[in-house]
Structure 1
C-alpha cells in the first residue's frame, strides 16, 4: 500500500525532471551558433507503481511513482551522416580538381595576346617577312628575338607547371599531417566517450567534437565511419582501418619529390606508417592532390614537351636544309629537347638559313618554307591547339562537376541542419512546456503539503 507521502515524492521527481529539461533547452539555445553542435533532447520515462519484487499480502497502488530522466540524447541520423561524409569526400575531391585545372589554364592564357599561340604566329610571320627581304639584318634579328620569345614562353610554362606540381605536393604533405592529427584526437575522444558511457556520465559534447573530426577526415581523404555499441566509432579509409576504438594509425607520403622524379616512374604515394602497406586514397582533398601529382599536371607537362619537341624537330629539319648568308648549310635553329630546355641555338644573324640555295643569291626560299609551318597540318601549332582544346574541355567538365557536387553537398548539409541543428522556435516552445510543468509540480507539492498539514495538525480537534 502506498505511503501518504508518495505524492510528495512524485512531485519532487517531476520538479527534478522538468528542471533538467529546462537545463537541456538552455544548453541548446546557448549553442545555437556552435559549429558541429547536435541538438539534445531530454528522454523522460514514467516510474511504475508496481514493485518488481513479489510480496505476500501486499497490495500496490495502481498509480505510478513519478518520472525519471532516462537519458539526454543527441538528435542524429546515422544514415544521413554516412551519406554526408561520402558526398563531402566527393565534393572536396572535385573542388580540388577544379582548382588544379584553373591553375593550369592560367599557365597557357589562351586565347590572349601574350600566350604561346600568339608568339608562334608572330614567329612564323617573321619568317615570311624574312623570305621577302632575306638580306635584311633587322628582320633576321627579329626572327632570332621572336624565336627566343617562343622558347621563353615554353620555358616559363614548364616552370609554372612545375610550381603547380610542387604546390600540390606541399598540400598533400599538409593534408597527411592533418589526417594524422585528426585520427589521434578521434581515438582519444573515443576512449573518453567509452569511459563516460561505462560510468553513466554525459558525453554528448565529446561525441559532437569527434563527429566533427570524422567529417573532417571525410573531407580530407573520403574516410567512412561505423558507430559501435560502446559509443566509439571506427574510421576506415577504403576498407583499411584508421581508427579502431582508442587505437589509431598514421599515414606517410612517399614517392616523387619533384615532377621530374614522377616522370621517371616514381609516382607520389601514401602508405601506412606502421606496416608500410599502401593506403588507397581516391577521394577528398588528398585524393585530388594525388591525382594532380600523378596524372593531371604531368599530363599537361608532357603535352607541353610534345609541343616543344615538335617545334624543335620541324624548325631544325627545315633550317638545316637551308643556307645562311655566307652560303653555308644551316645548322639547328633551336637547342634542347623539351619545354624546359628549349632555346635559340643561333646568336649571329648571318647564320640564319633563309636561302634554299648555296650560290649566295639569298632567295629566301627556306625562310618561306619555315613561315609555311603556320598552316602545316603536322606543325607545332596543331599540337599546341590540341593541348589547349583538351585542357579547355576537361577544365569545363571539372567546373560543372564541382558545381553540381557542391549543390548536392549543400542540400545534404541543410537537411542535416534541419535534423540535428537547434531551432530557437522549438526550444522556446520547450522552455514554456517545461516551465509550466515545473510550476504544476510545485503546485502539486504545495497542495499535498497543505492537505497533510490539515490531516496532521487539525484532525481530531
Structure 2
C-alpha cells in the first residue's frame, strides 16, 4: 500500500465511525418512540486489491480500510410473529370479557334490584293476599310487585338488546379500521420496495409497517409473510388481505338489530366476493362476531341473543304459569276466567309483558264457589316460586350460565393479556433501545474516530517529511 493509500484507509475509518455515531444518535433519540426498532451500522473490511505486476510482493498489503454496507434493523421475525399471535388472542378474549362482564352486571344479581329478589317479593305478596282475600291494600301490593317484575324483565331485555347493538356497531368500526390499515400496509409496501430498489434504507418505514400489521393481528388475527423484495403479504382467515401493493377489503352484512339476527346472521365477508365469510378465528372482530351470533334451541348461540331469548322465555313462563292458576280461580265477587298477566302478540315477549289486573277486585284469589274469604288460589300462586320449572329456576339458569361464561372469559382474557405482555417483553429485550448499551457504543465510536484521525495525522506527517524534507540532509 502506498503512503497515500494510508490516508484513504484512515479516511474510511473516519467515515465509518461518524456513520456509526449517527446510527447511535438515531437510536438514542428514538429510545422512547413507540414501535421503533434499534438499528446498527453494518460494515465489512475492504480487502486489498489483487496485484498483477511483475514485481509484486505477495502478502504485504494491509487492505483498503472499511466499507459501509448499510444500516440494519435489529428485528426478530419469530418474536414479531409471537407478538401478533398473542395480540390476536388478547383481542378476542378482551372483547368477550368486556361484553359478558357488562351483561352479567346488568342482572344486578345478587341484590334487591335483581329479578330473583323481586320474584320472591312477588310470591310473598300473594301469600299475604291469601291471608286477606279482597283486601284493597294487599291486592294493590301484588299488582305493584307484578309491575316491577315486568318492568325489570323489559329493562333486562333492553340491556341485552343495547349490548347487541353496541357489538354490531363495534364490528362496523373494526371492519373500517381493518380496511384502512390494510391500505396503509399496501402503500408502505410500495414505498419500501422502491426505497430498497434504489439502494436506500427503509428501516423506519418497516417499523411503521410492523406496527400496522400488529394492529391487523389484534383486529383480525392476521399472519404476515415477508417477501424478498421487501414487501409483506398479510392473510386473515386464510385469505390474502394484503398482497404486495394491493389490499383487499371486507364488509359487514346481515341484520342490524337483535330481532332480525335469527333470520339474517351478521357476517363479515369479502367486498369483492359477497356472501363469502372471511372465516376469522381470533382477533377483536372474531370476538365481536361471536357475541352477535343468533340464539339457538340448544342454548349455545351468541350470548347476547341467547340472554335476550331467555328474558322472553322468562316472561312467557311467568305469564303462563300465573294465568294458568289465576284463570281457573275466582275473584271475591265470583268472576272467573280472568288473566293476571298479558303478553303482546307482536314483538319480544319480554317487552310485551304487562299486568291486566288494575285493582284488588280484579284478582282471582279463591276456588270458584268457595266464598269471598277463600284464598286457596292466591296460596297456590305463592308456591309457584318453588315449583319445578318455575320462573325462578329459569332465571337462576340464565344467571348461572352467563356468570360461568363471564368468569371463563375473564380468565381467558387475563391469560391472553399475560401472554401478550410476555411476548412484548421478549420482543423488547431484543429490539428496543438500551441507553446504557448505546452510551457504550457511542464512547467506542468516539474513540474509533479519534484513533482514525490520529492515523491520518501520522500519515500526513510522514508525507510531509517525504515530500518537503527528503534530500535536505548534507546540503550546505
Specify the TM-score bucket, using the shorter chain as the normaliser. Answer: over 0.9
1:127 aligns to what?
Answer: 126
What's the CA shift string for 1:103-128, capped at 9, x where partnerless?
A: 10121110001111111000000000
CA apart distance, 1:357: 2.0
Map 1:148-187 → 2, pairs under 5 A: 148-187=147-186
Query: 2: CA distance between counterparts of 1:296 and 1:387?
Result: 10
What's the CA shift string for 1:247-301, capped at 9, x where partnerless?
A: 00111011110000113x2111111112223211221111111111111211111
1:315 aligns to what?
Answer: 322
Moved more, 354-363 or 279-288: 354-363
Query: 1: CA distance between counterparts of 2:320 and 2:37?
Result: 65
Query: 1: CA distance between counterparts of 2:402 and 2:268?
Result: 27
What's the CA shift string for 1:363-387, capped at 9, x where partnerless?
A: 0110000000121122110111111
2:297 aligns to what?
Answer: none
1:405 correspondence with 2:416: yes
Query: 2: CA distance between counterparts of 1:58 and 1:232?
Result: 51
Query: 2: CA distance between counterparts of 1:347 and 1:142?
Result: 11
The question of whether the paired residues in 2 share the 8 Å contact of 1:357 and 1:363 is answered with: no
What's the CA shift string for 1:413-433, capped at 9, x where partnerless?
A: 111111100000000010001
1:204 aligns to what?
Answer: 203
Runs (4+) of structure 1 moved beyond 4 Å?
A: none
Query: 2: CA distance between counterparts of 1:326 and 1:55?
Result: 129
The question of whether the paired residues in 1 share the 8 Å contact of 2:37 and 2:433 is answered with: yes
What's the CA shift string for 1:219-255, capped at 9, x where partnerless?
A: 1111111111111111000210000011001110111
Q: Could you say what secondary structure the match of 2:233 adopts?
A: strand
CA apart distance, 1:361: 2.9
2:402 aligns to what?
Answer: 391
CA apart distance, 1:200: 0.5
Q: Could you say what secondary structure the match of 1:113 adopts?
A: coil
CA apart distance, 1:3: 2.9
The question of whether the paired residues in 2 share the 8 Å contact of 1:255 and 1:267 is answered with: yes
2:135 aligns to what?
Answer: 136
2:385 aligns to what?
Answer: 374
Query: 1: CA distance between counterparts of 2:75 and 2:237?
Result: 24
Query: 2: CA distance between counterparts of 1:340 and 1:11?
Result: 86
1:271 aligns to what?
Answer: 269
Query: 2: CA distance between counterparts of 1:244 and 1:296?
Result: 36
Q: Could you say what secondary structure the match of 1:5 adopts?
A: helix
The question of whether the paired residues in 2 share the 8 Å contact of 1:327 and 1:359 is answered with: no
Query: 1: CA distance between counterparts of 2:81 and 2:239?
Result: 17
1:329 aligns to what?
Answer: 336
Query: 1: CA distance between counterparts of 2:319 and 2:134?
Result: 24
Query: 1: CA distance between counterparts of 2:81 and 2:428?
Result: 15
Number of residues paired by the alignment?
457
2:289 aligns to what?
Answer: 290
Q: Could you say what secondary structure the match of 2:112 adopts?
A: coil
1:6 aligns to what?
Answer: 5
CA apart distance, 1:392: 1.6
CA apart distance, 1:56: 5.4
Q: Could you say what secondary structure the match of 1:36 adopts?
A: coil
Query: 2: CA distance between counterparts of 1:149 and 1:304?
Result: 15
2:221 aligns to what?
Answer: 222
2:238 aligns to what?
Answer: 239
Query: 1: CA distance between counterparts of 2:151 and 2:268?
Result: 36
What's the CA shift string for 1:174-223, capped at 9, x where partnerless?
A: 11111111000100000000000100011111110011000001111111
CA apart distance, 1:359: 4.8
Query: Cα RMSD over matched residues?
Result: 1.3
Q: Could you say what secondary structure the match of 1:343 adopts?
A: strand
Q: Could you say what secondary structure the match of 1:339 adopts?
A: helix
5+ residue gaps, structure 1: none
Moved more, 151-160 or 328-337: 328-337
2:310 aligns to what?
Answer: 303
Query: 1: CA distance between counterparts of 2:33 and 2:372?
Result: 84
1:112 correspondence with 2:133: no
Return the TM-score normalized by structure 1.
0.97
CA apart distance, 1:307: 1.5
What's the CA shift string for 1:33-67, capped at 9, x where partnerless?
A: 0000000011111001034xx84537375311010
